[in-house]
Every structure is written in C-alpha cells, then in structure tokens.
Amino acid sequence: MSLPTATLPPILPNRGTAKVKSVLSGDTVVLLGRGGDGKRPPEVTFTFERVTAPRMASKANNNVDDPGAFSSREWLRNMCVGKTVTFETRKQGATAGDRVYGLLFMPDPNKSNETWNLSVESVRRGFCTPKVLSGDVITDGTTEDEEDNYEMALQTAYKEAVSQKAGVHASQPLVRKVLNAGDDFSAMTLFEKSKRLCTNSSVTCVIEYVFDGSRYRCIVTDPDLEGAGLMYASFTLILAGVACPRVGNARLNPPTPSEPYAVEARDFVELRLLQRELKVTLNGTDKSGVCLVGTVHHPRGSIAAEILKNGLGRISDWTIRMMSPGDVPPLRIAENTAKRSNIGVFENYIPPTLTGASEFMGTIVEVISGDTLLILPSGELYDNESKLKKISLASVRAPRAGNEKTGKEDEPYAAECKDRLRVLTVGKLAKVNIHYEKEIPIGQNKTEKRQFGTISVGKKDDVGEVLITEGLATTQRHRDDDEKSIRYDDLVAAESIAKAANKGVHSSTEYKKKTVNDLSDPKKAKTYASSLQRAGMTKAVVDYCFNGSRFKLFVPSENCYIMFALSNIRCPQPSPIPGASSRGGQTKTAEPFGDNAKRHSRLNVMQRTVEISCTGVTQGGVMTGDLFVGTGSQRRDYSIELVASGLATVDQRKIDYGEAPKVLIETQTAAQNNKLGIWSIEQVKKNEPKAKAYEKAEERTVDIQISEICNGNTFFFRVVGDESAQVIDNSMKIFTEQNGTDGAPCDIKVGKVVAALFNDGSSNAWYRAKIVEKLANGKVKVLFVDHGNLATVKAASQCRPLDVAFGIENIPAAAKEAQLAMTKVRAITDDDGIEAARYFQRAAWGKDIKTRLHGESDGKVLVTLYDSDIDSPSINENLVAEGLAIIVGKNYEVYDLLDRMGNSDSLSKLVKDIKAAQEKAKSGRKGMWVYGEIAEEDED
C-alpha cells in the first residue's frame, strides 16, 4: 500500500507498507511513501508504540548520547534503512502531534517465513525499553487482546534483555561524544590522519544528513581513527567534482527559495545515500578549512556521475581539481550526456556557437602575450591585418604583462611565458581547434569577440599544456557554467605535476625579474655601438617591425634591446599606427607598397631568431647593418630578399658614392626588369606630372613675431601689422566679453574649428582652435590656429561654437608654420635638440624679426631670420655655427633644392654661409660635433 500525498502529517491507514528513509533514534524512523503525478513522495515520522529509546546526542544535551543511544539507532538503521516495511498505526492525528505511533514489521533476516516486530526485537536486544502502561486509550481498531499480546511480548523481551545484560542494560553502555569539525577538531587533521591511518586512505562514515545534492553531514565510524580520537567526528562533506543547486531555507526571514532542481537533487541523493555507511576518500578542505571535500564510494557506482548524468548538478572545477585524474573522465562524460539531452539544470543549454570554423590550419605570425597569438589561416593571402585571427589558448592563464602608462609591473614569469610560446609556435604551421568564444574588454566601453582554442604544433598536441607543465602558466579558474577546453582535465593534471615539482609560478623561491638594457635611447645606443660592431655576427630576436626594414631587436648575448635598420636599402613607409597624429592633426599617408613590405617582414622575421652584423649607428640611436634569417641552406640576406621582391630600393646615396654592394644593385635591376612591387608602378609615375615638394613664390622680406616654437628650426609666426590678425584678436575679445568663459555644446569633430578656452597667464579667453584629436574622458587636443600652440581641453566646459555673426570663421589662420631654410636639427627629446630650441628662443622670441620668405615646403614656409638687418649673419647661420644644426642634406640634395626653388641668389648665399658655419663648428668641436664626425641622420 502506498502512502497518500496529503499535506503532512498525513493520516495513515491502519495497515500498509512504506520504505524507511532514515532512522532518527532507536525508536523513531521516517517513512517514505510513493510520489505520483510529479509530486514529491510524502514523509511520515513514525515512532514505536509503548517503547522508548535513549536520546541521541544533540546541542540540547551538549552533543553527548544517553547511554546506549547510538548503538540503539545503529541497530535499527542497519536493519531497515532503504527497505520496505509493514506498518500498523496505533495513534495519530491530534492526539499524536506531528508524528504517528504504531508498529513496524519486516521479514526475519534469519527465517524467511517469519516476521519481526521491530519494537519487540529492539527491546529484546536492549536497545529500547517498554513504557509503563498508564491507561492509554486504544485507537484505530486495535483490540484489547492485541494490546495485551503486544504488552506481554514487550515484557518478555525486556526480561530477556535484562537477564543477558544486553544494550542499555550492560554495565557500561556506549556513550558517544560527538565532535564537530571547526569546534572540536580541525578538518585538516581528519584529512591528514585519514591518509595515514585508514585502509586505502578511505574513511568509513554514515551519511547523517543531506543539505543538498552535493553537501552532506557525515559521522566517522571508522575504527582505524578511534585511536586518533576522531571516532564519531562530525563534519560537512562537499562532494568532489559536483555542484548541485542550493535548497532554500523557509526558516530565514525572509525565507530563501530553492534553486531549480535543488529539491530533486536532494531527493535523488537521499534515496541512495542517506544513513548509509559508506567509504569516503577525503581529497582536501575548502577555503574556510571547516568543510572537507571528498569522493563517496557506493557499491553500485559513482553518485557524482549519476547526479551529473541526470542533470541534477554541474561539474565543480575547484573541487574536481582535488580528485585523482583517473576519476575525472566519467564525470565529464556524464555532464556532456545531460547537456546533449537537455535535462535538469541543462534544460536550456545551447552548445557554444562559433562565428567561424571550429578547426583550421594556419601559420603563427605573432605571439601577443603568453596565451594569445595571431594566426594567418592556410590559403589566406596576407594582404590585410584583418586576415590574421587572434586566438587565445582555451582554459590557460598566462602571467599578465605590465603597463608602462599605468605603472603596472609584469606578473612573475610573464616574459618567460611569452618567450617560451614564441619559441614553440612562431613561424610554424599549427592546427587550431576552437572551443568557445567570449567578449573580452579592450578599453573603455569596448569589447572584442575572442576565440579560445587548443593549438597543436608539430608533436606538441597542446602548447598550452606545455606552458602549464613547465610552470609558466596555470589553468584558468572557470565558473561552473562556463565553457572550457575539452582538454581541461589534462591541463589540470599538468598543473598538478608542475606544482609537485615547484616549477615556475609554483616555485617557493622569490622571483627576480630579469632586467634588460634598453638601448633605444640615442646616448646609450652610441655608447654600446662599438661593442656591437666588434661582436661581428650576433644572434637577435625581432621584437617589433616598424616597417619593412626597421626593427626593434632583443640581443640575448648583450641582454639589450636595440633599434635596428638595414643599412643599404630603403623600404617605403607603411600606414601610421591608428591614433597617431602629427602637429596640426595631419597624419602621414602610406607610401606605395609600404604596408606590403611591413607585412612581409611580420610574416618572415617577426619574433624570429635572426643574425645581425652592426656596421654603424645613426644620430637617432638606430643601429645599422645587415640581417640574416634562417639557418643552414635556408639562411638568406634579408636585404636581398626585400629588394628582390620589389619591396625595397637600394639607397640612392649609397649607389652615388659607390658604397652599395654589387649584389644588391643587380638584384634591384632584376626587380625593375620584372616590374615587381614598387617597380610595377614606376611606369605610371613617369607619365604623371611630378608633384612639387616646394612651391616657388616671389621672395619678400617682412617683420614677424614668433608665436610658438616647436623645435630648434620649426615655429609659428605672425606678420607684424597684419590687419586680419588684428580683426581676429579684436573679435575674439568681444566674443569672450559677450559669452563669458562657460562652455557650450558644439560639434566635436577632428578638423573642426571651434572656440577653445586658454589662459594666457592673466585670465581665461576664447581663441579659435582646430580639433586635432579626441582623447579619453571627454577631452580633446586642439591647435590654436592664430598662435600655433597645442593644448588639451575639456570638450564640454572649455569649447563652444564660433559665433557666425562675427564673420571670422572663414578668415585664414593668422599664425603660419615656418622652418629655417637649409637647416636640420635633432629632435626636441635629444639634448642637442633641446639646446637648439633654447638658442633659437633666446635669439628670436619676443622680438620683431627681419625675415626673408622663400617659399613653401609641405605647408611650411621656408625662411631666413636676421638678428638686425638682412646684411647681418642670419639666425640660420648662427645656429649651425654653434653646432646645434646642420645643413639640410648632402650636396646633391642641396643643389636639387636650390633648383626647385628657382636658384635664388639669397638661398645660394645662405647655403655658402651655412657650409662655412658648419665647417667652423666642426673644427671648433661645438655642439653635436664635440666627438668629431657624426653619422648620417636616420631618415625615419
């Protein structure tokens, strides 16, 4: 007979059958009925009629049993838990409270044709004692004869138990003291002693209570631990490898609801584990150190796998790491089965969707970090950066690189991990299996969809596993519902090996970051140049490609970074890096085949080990020389390769002076004849009118005032007495008076002219400004077009639109950009460069300067400045005489410039004067000539 499903406590029939779910004490059990129509099976607390058992340990009695209580409970638990029994009710309903009183019957385990009355049998063994009759009312149809027979049987059994001194009648019945983990003993102590003392390192326990599908309260009943004082130790067990939904708590205020499938998971486990005595292998503790993590061994198989297979839980990554690697695959298979079937917690599971192929072959072009690479898929033509796929290693976390801007340092082993991945992969053909995709933050409010997969190269099935095994990376800690690598368990096993060996990031020794000498600074480069030149052929690693022939290299033997350029060739310039801009917001455009040359170098030498021979160093600190790539019969001169492909030209100056190697000239001739690369557009160029770099204009002499100095020979000026400049200045004063200094909404676009606020030292005022660049945090970089200075302002509060009524929005800029004719100075970041700027400031700032205007070059006016009159030595000449500037180029360049400027007499005289001044500076060892001759300026 099945139990009815009425609201508890249910009204039972006089007789029926039910399954024993659990035993609360020697005289009380919980009966489980049958569920139906999707309803949970009903439960009834059933107590033996007219029998009492010793009270079990609880908080109410300081966790100490009444004498014999545990033995009483254990006998009844072993007899009937999980078995079907027959019940007879004697008292229930209002007179019985929240339980039912009656008798339980089950087959005699020794005599199959006879039945045990469990109440009588527990009394016979001394586990219970009869209650004294006190006029109890007989209910539910029980006759007086039946009651008398039952009472007589109890009394007979009782006398037998007393005579044999059984159970509670013994001279010293068992009195158990329950020890609670965290209060009475350390969970780690139990873990360690179980490994040392217990057979096969497994502890015998009784599952006393099930909190949810993966958390249980256990009591130790293993005699091997009795000597260690841990017999009857109570602890919370977290089932290794599984996380089940949490069951809510109706007693809280407000009550917490149960998660979906939480109750089903608990019922599933209770039916199979509750109050069973089982072996448990302890794997470790949780972070709190109070709960233990372990594997429950059931005679019929793995409860963890069954939970997962039925969709009642998910794999728990943090606990599965504690398991033996051999026990993990069945759990993965079980979870995948539930996912495919969309059952339980996976009822809405959708396999990860990929935007591209799940498997492809490709060549590793670049290692971005210790776990992210750029790959060119096989069959793709590398004609655009978008053809490269950015792939991260699935479930692998490499140490993060630092950030110079934020001052964040590298995590330990970040550089070593990246370099190891470079050695394993760059330039090699790889097989890529994509497992999942994620949105990865790449900046403020920006993300990119990144693919994560396993990369196999040669005999290495998973380069991520290699990094983890060597202690250079770790496995990623995923949330339980995250997608992960299909080889995740292999990665975890590899990490365990690295931990055991104390490798890399798991080492107990303090990490010491390797310091690399950065020779990109010109002064340092010049100091070390002779050492590198003497070293002859030297191995180096290409760290970055600026263009086809200019690189940043790491030289292991010298432990330094250097800037390096191929000495005899010139590659066309590629497209600028996105976001890079020059003064005035003008960006350089790519030269024909500049991007092709850079891509060729990225594909063939980027992050490869090469050999270099340094022959010189430029004023900018760039080492020059030859570079060889490949080994053995594959070794090749990279300059010849670029020229042969039509991606570079031999430096014309080297040809003119007979310094260019013959093989390079012959290779260039062959490329010209075959119309390869650059030479394929040469014929078109010949038929087009040649663009003029300089615009010839009638020379004139004016007085100017300098409004902004950019470097030692570049500046902005305003013509003295310029009426348009006066109109603009007066109009902007009125504009400031009428509008105050509060910003106003305006169209913020690069190249747009607006009014921007500037403080000249006395007060804020509005000036015309061109927006050069949008910056973060609502700021913009602007060029004040009537004065030439750059500034960063807030778009919202320091910008406003120009008032059309003033009529000044279309008046040309009052400040013109100019350059001292026939001179070249070093960058403002160089010591000689800053000295040149300071000299120029002392000579020209704050004065009305006599100026000869010669013409324009790329938007800059070429000028000669004079201290007093045009017959006195020019500032151009004086700057060169101080050794702070040099003549603009070689002889042929100077004469070409004079020719294009119309062979001006004044320019010809200026050239002669500057040459004489330069010779004077050389002989006097002034400025940049202090060490004698200097190398050619680096064109880049």
Q: What is the pLDDT of residue 693?
A: 47
Rounded to an integer, what distance in angstroms lies between the CA atom of residue 457 and that of residue 548? 27
The pLDDT tens digits for 341-352 are 999 999 999 888
What are the tokens at 738? Answer: 């009428």
Q: In sequence order, what DSSP letters do the residues of 354-400 get, joined into one string?
A: -SS-SEEEEEEEEEEETTEEEEEETT---SSGGGSEEEEETTEEPPP
pLDDT, residue 654, reads 79
Q: pLDDT at residue 8 above 60?
A: no
For residue 650, is pLDDT > 70?
yes
| Residue % of the chain over a pLDDT of 70 | 90
Q: Please check whether residue 547 is in contact with residue 571, taking contact to mean a CB–CB distance below 8 angstroms.
A: yes
Closest CA to 105 of 96, 94, 95, 117: 117
Cα–Cα dist 470/503, whole Å: 6
DSSP state of 756: E
pLDDT digits (tens, 9 = 90+) for 912-934: 888 899 989 988 888 888 877 77
Half-sphere exposure in the Cβ direction for 832 (13 Å, CA): 21
Q: Is residue 234 within 8 Å of residue 180, measured between CB atoms?
A: yes
* DSSP codes joined into one string, 420-450: HHHHHHTTSEEEEEEEEEEEEEEETTEEEEE
Q: Which pLDDT score, from 0 to 100, does residue 452 have? A: 95
Cis amide bond preceding 9, omega within 30 = yes
CB-side exposure of 619: number of CA atoms within 13 Å?
24
pLDDT for the residue numbered 234: 94
Rounded to whole angstroms, the Cα distance separating 264 from 700 reads 95
Query: Can you state the percent helix, strand and coil of the chain, rounding each to 5?
Result: 30, 30, 40
Closest CA to 223 of 233, 237, 235: 233
Average pLDDT estimate for 404-432: 90
| pLDDT for 458 beyond 50 | yes
| 585 pLDDT above the threshold of 60 | no
Kindly tell me if the per-residue pLDDT of 697 is higher than 80. Answer: no
- Give 464-519 as a DSSP string: HHHHHHTTS-EE----TTS---TTHHHHHHHHHHHHHTT-GGG-SSPP-PPP-EET
Per DSSP bridges, beta strands 100-107 and 799-800 are unpaired
Q: How far apart are CA 903 and CA 521, in angstroms?
A: 39
pLDDT tens for 98-137 read 789 999 999 988 887 889 999 999 999 999 999 865 444 3
Higher pLDDT, 255 or 242: 242
- What CA–CA distance (Å, rounded) separates 178 from 232? 6
pLDDT on residue 145 = 57
Confidence band for 597, pLDDT divided at 50, 70 and 90: very high
Is 586 a residue whose pLDDT tops 80?
Answer: no
Structure tokens at 744: 């106003």
613, two tokens: 């021979």
State residue 578's pLDDT score: 66
- What are the tens digits of pLDDT across the range 804-824? 666 676 678 888 999 898 888
Query: Residue 169: enclosing H or E segment and its boundaries?
Result: none
Mean pLDDT of the chain: 86
Q: Please check whether residue 754 is in contact with residue 793, taking contact to mean a CB–CB distance below 8 angstroms.
A: no
Residue keyed to tokens 């015998």: 204
Residue 533 pLDDT greater than 60, yes or no: yes
pLDDT category, 94, cuts 50, 70, 90?
low
pLDDT digits (tens, 9 = 90+) for 28-69: 999 998 876 667 888 899 999 999 999 999 888 888 999 999
Is 90 exceeded by the pLDDT of residue 738? no
Q: Which of 85-89, 262-266, 654-658, 797-801 has the lowest mean pLDDT?
A: 654-658
